[in-house]
Structure 1
Amino acid sequence: MEALNGTDLPVIDLSLFPSQNVDQNQLESFEFKKLRQACQELGFFLVINHGVDPTLIQAVDGRIRDMFALPTEVKNRAIFPIFNTGYGPSVVDDAAKDSIPENMSFPWDHLLPNSVEKISAKLWPQGNPPFCEELNAYGAQIKELCQRILKLLVWSLGVDVSSQSVSELFEKSFGNVRMNYYDKCTDKEMISKAHTDVSFFTILYQDDIGGLQIRNKQGKWMDSKPLPGSFVFNVGDILQMWSNGRYRNAEHRVVYGKSNRNRLSMAYFFDLPNEFEIRCPKETIDEEHPQLYKVVTKDVVLIYEHRNVI
């Protein structure tokens, strides 16, 4: 399917939003309307003035590239029998479609406690303390950004931030970062497997090479332009369900290869435990928006994907 070229994603400037309570006038402001529209129509937007240290971002970028430059036999030592943890070799089918890039996953506060240190110890004899320090600092700043964006999303839906169900979102959420390394190719174009994210939402760092494509409501693949200094936000499966279908989890993929540089992205999945009960807040249900989903736990979503509709 041919892609639409050069699409600019909506840009959300976090400096223009309140950090404390909001009133109805603020919820009807241009910025909140823009946020809602981006989540409803495309499910993707760019985040600027996000507060994550740009020097730290570039330092982590360099550390991760050095990590992927290690010999294959060294990286293979970081393969763990735990889902979404440690090293994953690239997988490419014969048609160069539905490929999986080389990757490394670090689950913070979940699955493997102290995962950065444990994975680092598999790769370097001394564990590489500078790598661990910078990567943990990056994870902490991204988690803080996620908490800030979560509050804006809750407000944007007219949901009471102080309610017990929302408090549980803040208390029980955790992060899992996946570093993706797309090998340059000179002979053919590669396409990663199209998917949606089984998470609440995702914060993505990507370099300036580009290649991210998003499927719009009309079924067309859209090329998205990288914006220096920004993060990409996308709605996950859980947020689509929690918002009662008001916010859209768009299918996406990466087209890469035929470049003189390798592409790097770092996806931080803001997620919830498998036993977490996903229930639409009452504020998201009305005559125009009847309840779309059964109340289920996260593990049911993992197994049955989107077939748990009412």
Structure 2
Amino acid sequence: MSVTTSLNLPVLSFSQLTTEHPQRDRWLARLSEAARETGFFYLTDHGIDPALLADVQRVSRAFFALPLADKLAIRMAHSPHFRGYNVAGAELTRSQPDQREQFDLGAERDPLPLTPESPAWQRLQGPNQWPAALPELRAVLSRWQQAMTGMALALLRAFADALHLPHHAFDTLYGRLPNEHVKLIRYPGQSAAASRQGVGAHKDSGFLTFLLQDAQPGLQVEVTPDRWVDATPLPGAFVVNIGELLELATNGYLRATVHRVVSPPAGSERLSVAFFLGAELGAVVPVYPLPASLAQLAQGPASDPLNPLLRDVGWNYLKGRLRSHPDVAARFYADQLSALSPRPQ
């Protein structure tokens, strides 16, 4: 495994994925091992322009520096699509408030036409909210989302190769209208006596998550039960982790790992920008047939009985949103709150 002595997670260079690279097969084996054993790794040499990454961080800081009234004008509570701004403490993880100020956006699309028979997850598609006081934000994040999509899909297809599946095996799940998600996150410093839950322990629901961190630590990964390690910021790299879709699709061979963020100390702050590669909301996750040598290592997907994994992508994603954002749920999904109870698999 390619690991540095100062980091707790594997480090993989995306440059070795190119078809002509002599180490490509060995790199795919390391990718498979990292995703199975840890579920988290650093991705370096990913090809995303460093100037674009700097712009993303710059406009993210500019957004959070806006007057509160400008940010509240695009509160998520105004959006049935769960897009927009939240003050620290508004989002819940495991019923506890997360001490993070954030801005969520997704693919820019028109709302779907709805009928009384439409599944509730169809309400998730729709436009973003953008701050009038910072028009540059939309331009920069749209460029970054497009660049990230191309790179993330290449990595997703590399996972298919690593699992000895057809190169485009996951493309049907990704679909024509994937549920991509971007989140800008600012963690304000907290005193030792205050809650240090920047984000509570959780798994991500999509295919893959790519996290751009600043220099402030805080992300922690539960590599084994009750053993947490720091995902120390590595300049220029993304922290990548496996989402529940790939855990479900591989019967637990690939691992969606529990992680959390500990708030920075008082007098400091932490900025991170996350890109979540998701699937089409109408898709249903199958179990892909792995070679016997890999299938025997699959441990089955780990599902919390109080928050079970669902193979219906739209329902699984909506369930998480309803739990995390009770204000949006009460305003736009009051008829669906019973969905918070476990659904049959």
2:82 to 75, 81, 84: 84
Aligned to 2:258: 251
Count of residue pairs brought into register by the alignment: 289
Preserved CA contact (<8 Å) 1:285 1:291: no
Aligned to 2:41: 45
1:129 to partner: Cα distance: 3.7
Q: Which ranges of structure 2 fall in alignment gaps of 5 or more residues?
A: 1-5, 110-123, 302-308, 320-338
1:208 pairs with 2:223? no
CA offset digits 1:196-233 (Å, max 9, x no partner): 11111111111011110001124311112110000010
Preserved CA contact (<8 Å) 2:208 2:278: yes
Preserved CA contact (<8 Å) 1:173 1:272: yes
Preserved CA contact (<8 Å) 2:81 2:125: no
Q: Which ranges of structure 1 fall in alignment gaps of 5 or more residues?
A: 1-5
Aligned to 2:9: 9
1:65 to partner: Cα distance: 0.7
Q: So what's the TM-score if we normalise by structure 1?
A: 0.82
Of residues 273-282 and 42-51 in structure 1, the stretch that sits farther from structure 2 once superposed is 273-282
Structure 1 42/291 Cα, relative in aligned 2: closer, same or farther at 3 Å? closer
Distance 1:177 1:308 in 2: 27
Distance 1:48 1:248 in 2: 21
Aligned to 1:288: 296
Greater RCO structure (CA 8 Å; 6+ sep) = 1
**Any idea what SS the aligned residue of 1:62 has?**
helix
Preserved CA contact (<8 Å) 2:165 2:290: yes
Preserved CA contact (<8 Å) 2:15 2:45: yes
Aligned to 1:226: 233
Distance 2:206 2:86 in 1: 20
Aligned to 2:185: 180
1:64 to 60, 63, 71: 60
Aligned to 2:324: none
Aligned partner letter, 1:234: N
CA offset digits 1:269-310 (Å, max 9, x no partner): 1111332110022236787268947983113434489x7898
Following superposition of structure 1 onto structure 2, how do residues 293-304 of structure 1 map, counting pairs within 5 Å?
Answer: 296-302=311-317, 303=319
CA offset digits 1:3-40 (Å, max 9, x no partner): xxx742111101011258x9xx977x331221111100
1:171 to partner: Cα distance: 3.8
Aligned to 1:142: 148
Structure 1 233/290 Cα, relative in aligned 2: closer, same or farther at 3 Å? closer
1:119 to 92, 107, 130: 130
**Any idea what SS the aligned residue of 2:261 has?**
strand
Structure 1 11/295 Cα, relative in aligned 2: closer, same or farther at 3 Å? same
Structure 1 47/291 Cα, relative in aligned 2: closer, same or farther at 3 Å? closer
Of residues 177-186 and 254-263 in structure 1, the stretch that sits farther from structure 2 once superposed is 254-263
Of residues 287-296 and 130-139 in structure 1, the stretch that sits farther from structure 2 once superposed is 287-296
Aligned partner letter, 1:82: P
**Any idea what SS the aligned residue of 1:266 has?**
strand
Aligned partner letter, 1:154: A
Q: So what's the TM-score if we normalise by structure 2?
A: 0.74
1:162 to partner: Cα distance: 4.3
Aligned to 2:136: 130
Preserved CA contact (<8 Å) 1:43 1:247: yes
Distance 2:159 2:175 in 1: 12
